[in-house]
């Protein structure tokens, strides 16, 4: 059997070992050191917008600390995009807060601004207080309709935490994802556009915010000769070794974005003559997606095929694909959470499929994919 074509494997740039060796040579293998400092500075330079970045152990840790910094406490309600990974919602529950899920709109597959406003107004009536924060997502690298979302957030004075785990390098009206909300989480998991093998970061608006996040992420140890703690802390800081991988990855980030976008163009060309199949891409020039994952939706009524049939057919050829995220309001663990929307996310889940999108996808890989797709739809 031919080698397996993976959905989104890590793609190393070649310099990662150099920075890892530097950490070993200097015996700096703790949660502090040159690699962390440089990696944070390179992220700040790339993202721009006067941002300050705190490197952390995971993207989920970044979301958790972001919610802490926004003042979320037990009993509060936090609005969260339903069409996303569970990592967007789980940190809400870590704090004893309650998620309120909001549907997507069809253009970007991200949080619907109208449903967002409906949710805020409805929860204010139901609980006598408005939700404390909003978690939006840049799904599969696609920016959300941030102007409309931020307008609603300002109207009701609710801060926005961007889950930009999939959106590093994507822009909305020229602004980098992760710089538009009040705070933002990044992820460097093994399948992301760049990786540190695991890891994440919280994007802050001020140095004071960043310094406090670093303080909280290193067990909130007070300034004293002994170990003294006046606040609850977390063991969430990125290690200097892992940050070395990140430094090597930053050197090839622009190339990785270009490669993922090239994959999306390949799929647009592959499916252009297949009726009933739509490739997910930007709705207008305001949106620039890194196309972390390229996705399609299949209208079975038009083409007589469905996404599960295609998934299984490609699997027979050792080609990995994955259904779109199952919305959070459909998950057993969140079955009692409030939900607002018109079931756009449910329809996308039923019809959608993520296709191999790695930046190391070869011409031979693309030929195999194209052959398998054409045979399936023939």
In the chain, where the domains are located: 16-252, 254-377
Phi, psi of 42 (to 5 degrees): -70, -40
Containing 18, the helix (H) or strand (E) segment is helix 16-25
**Identical topology for domains 16-252 and 254-377:** no
Quote the pLDDT of residue 174: 97
Quote the pLDDT of residue 14: 82
Q: Please give the average per-residue pLDDT across 222-235, as a whole number.
A: 90
Q: Please give the average per-residue pLDDT across 231-258, as a whole number.
A: 96
Could you tell me the pLDDT band of residue 223, with boundaries at 50, 70 and 90? Answer: confident
Residue 1 in this model has a pLDDT that exceeds 80: no
Helices (H) and strands (E) in the chain — how many of each?
Answer: 13, 15
Quote the pLDDT of residue 23: 85
* 235 burial level (CB within 10 Å; 0-12, 13-18, 19+): exposed
Q: Which position has the higher pLDDT, 14 or 178?
A: 178
Residue 95 in this model has a pLDDT that exceeds 90: yes
* 89: three-class secondary structure by DSSP: helix
**Cβ–Cβ under 8 Å, residues 277 and 304:** no
Could you tell me the pLDDT band of residue 224, with boundaries at 50, 70 and 90? Answer: confident
The per-residue pLDDT for range 165-174, each reduced to its tens digit, is 999 999 999 9
CB atoms < 10 A from the CB of 284, how many?
8
**Cβ–Cβ under 8 Å, residues 348 and 324:** yes
CA distance 119 to 125: 10
CA distance 265 to 352: 18
Quote the pLDDT of residue 35: 95
Helix, strand, coil percentages, rounded to 5, for the chain: 40, 15, 40
Quote the pLDDT of residue 349: 98
Mean pLDDT value across the chain: 96
Quote the pLDDT of residue 332: 98
Quote the pLDDT of residue 355: 98
Q: At CA 44, angle to CA 38 and CA 45, rounded to 5?
A: 90
Q: Which residue's structure tokens are 């709705």?
A: 283
Proportion of the chain above pLDDT 70, given as a percent = 100
Strands 277-279 vs 352-355: parallel, antiparallel or unpaired: unpaired
Q: String of b and e for 344-360 (b: at least 16 CB within 10 Å)?
A: bbbebbbbbbbbbbbbe
Closest C-alpha among 329, 280, 288 to residue 115? 329
CA distance 35 to 57: 14
Could you tell me the pLDDT band of residue 27, with boundaries at 50, 70 and 90? Answer: confident
Which residues contact residue 254 at a Cβ distance below 8 angstroms, ignoring those fewer than 6 apart?
169
Closest C-alpha among 83, 80, 147 to residue 110? 83
Look up the CATH number of domain 16-252.
3.40.640.10
- Token pair listed for 160: 């926005």
CA distance 263 to 49: 29
Q: Please give the average per-residue pLDDT across 39-56, as a whole number.
A: 96
Q: Provide the whole-model pTM.
A: 0.95
Quote the pLDDT of residue 361: 97
Quote the pLDDT of residue 33: 87
Q: Report the topology of domain 254-377.
A: 3.90.1150
Quote the pLDDT of residue 266: 98
The per-residue pLDDT for range 326-358, each reduced to its tens digit, is 999 999 999 999 999 999 999 999 999 999 999
Closest C-alpha among 141, 138, 139, 122 to residue 130? 122
Quote the pLDDT of residue 216: 96
Which residues contact residue 110 at a Cβ distance below 8 angstroms, ignoring those fewer than 6 apart?
81, 83, 104, 136, 137, 138, 139, 142, 143, 144, 145
Q: Please give the average per-residue pLDDT across 229-249, as a whole number.
A: 95
Quote the pLDDT of residue 136: 98
Residue 25 in this model has a pLDDT that exceeds 90: no
Quote the pLDDT of residue 28: 76
């Amino acid at each position: 059997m031919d080698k397996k074509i993976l959905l989104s494997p890590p793609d190393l740039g070649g310099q990662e070992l150099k920075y890892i060796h530097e950490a070993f040579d200097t015996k700096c293998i703790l949660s502090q050191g040159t690699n962390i400092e440089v990696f944070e500075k390179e992220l700040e330079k790339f993202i721009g917008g006067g941002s300050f970045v705190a490197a952390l152990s995971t993207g989920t840790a970044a979301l958790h600390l972001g919610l802490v910094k926004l003042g979320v406490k037990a009993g509060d309600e936090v609005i969260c995009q339903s069409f996303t990974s569970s990592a967007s919602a789980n940190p809400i529950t870590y704090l004893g807060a309650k998620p309120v899920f909001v549907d997507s709109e069809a253009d970007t597959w991200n949080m619907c601004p109208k449903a967002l406003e409906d949710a805020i107004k409805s929860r204010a009536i139901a609980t006598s207080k408005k939700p404390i924060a909003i978690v939006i997502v840049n799904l599969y690298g696609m920016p959300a309709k941030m102007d409309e979302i931020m307008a609603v957030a300002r109207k009701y004075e609710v801060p926005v935490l961007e889950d930009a785990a999939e959106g590093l390098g994507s822009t909305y009206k020229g602004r980098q994802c992760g710089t538009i909300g009040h705070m933002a989480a990044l992820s460097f998991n093994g399948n992301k556009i760049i990786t540190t093998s695991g890891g994440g970061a919280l994007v802050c608006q001020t140095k004071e915010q960043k310094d406090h996040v670093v303080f909280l992420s290193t067990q909130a140890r007070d300034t004293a000769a002994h170990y003294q703690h006046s606040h609850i802390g977390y063991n969430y800081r990125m290690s200097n070794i892992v940050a070395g991988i990140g430094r090597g990855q930053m050197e090839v980030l622009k190339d990785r974005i270009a490669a993922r976008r090239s994959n999306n163009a390949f799929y647009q060309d592959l499916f252009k003559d297949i009726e009933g199949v739509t490739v997910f891409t930007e709705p207008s020039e305001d949106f620039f997606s890194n196309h972390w994952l390229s996705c399609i939706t299949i209208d079975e009524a038009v083409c007589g095929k469905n996404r599960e049939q295609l998934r299984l057919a490609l699997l027979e050829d050792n080609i990995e694909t994955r259904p779109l995220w199952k919305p959070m309001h459909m998950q057993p663990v969140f079955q009692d959470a409030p939900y607002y929307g018109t079931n756009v996310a449910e329809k996308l889940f039923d019809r959608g499929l993520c296709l191999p999108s790695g930046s190391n996808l070869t011409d031979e890989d693309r030929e195999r994919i194209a052959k398998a797709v054409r045979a399936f739809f023939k």
